[in-house]
């Protein structure tokens, strides 16, 4: 379960970065 949580946190972090970039128009 801990491994899964770590993977989820990584994915969530990546999604947040992408969402932030989209909001700023970084893409």
> Rounded to an integer, what is the distance from CA 14 to the centroid of its chain?
2
Residue ranges per structural domain of the chain: 1-27
What pLDDT does 27 receive? 58
What is the per-residue pLDDT across 4-26, written as a single tens digit (0 to 9) for each?
A: 888 889 999 899 888 888 888 76
| DSSP per residue, 1-27 | -HHHHHHHHHHHHHHHHHHHHHHHT--
């Amino acid at each position: 379960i801990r491994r899964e949580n770590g993977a989820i946190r990584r994915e969530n972090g990546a999604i947040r970065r992408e969402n932030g970039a989209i909001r700023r128009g970084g893409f």
